[in-house]
Amino acid sequence: MFNAFANDNEVLNIQGDALTVSNGTTRITLNGTLELTRDQRGLQAALALRQALDHVVATLQAQPDLPARIDDEPDAKPGVIDNPFN
């Protein structure tokens, strides 16, 4: 089971690696493209996504001191690299 906000290293893959749900202690990140087809495979993917999101929502709702917004980390200063096409 996906334990939302429990750690910074758990990743749930849905339909292989079509969609990844990456855990974090301050945020959950969804990456990819998931096609929910009208078949058994689509149903299984939809149920896996629903289970993960239901756990995220339940975890958030259970936190009595949930802040309005977390403090975001500052953006890293952009580096300069040489253009390899010049």
Give the pTM. 0.78
Between 82 and 23, the more confident residue is 23
| Separation of alpha carbons 45 and 19, rounded Å | 9
Token pair belonging to 14: 């849905």
How far apart, in whole angstroms, are the C-alpha atoms of residue 34 and residue 21? 11
What is the tens place of the pLDDT at every residue in 33-81? 999 999 999 999 999 999 999 999 999 999 999 999 888 765 556 677 7
Domain ranges (residues) in the chain = 11-61
Spell out the alpha helix ranges (H) of 1-86. Answer: 40-61
Predicted pLDDT at 58: 97
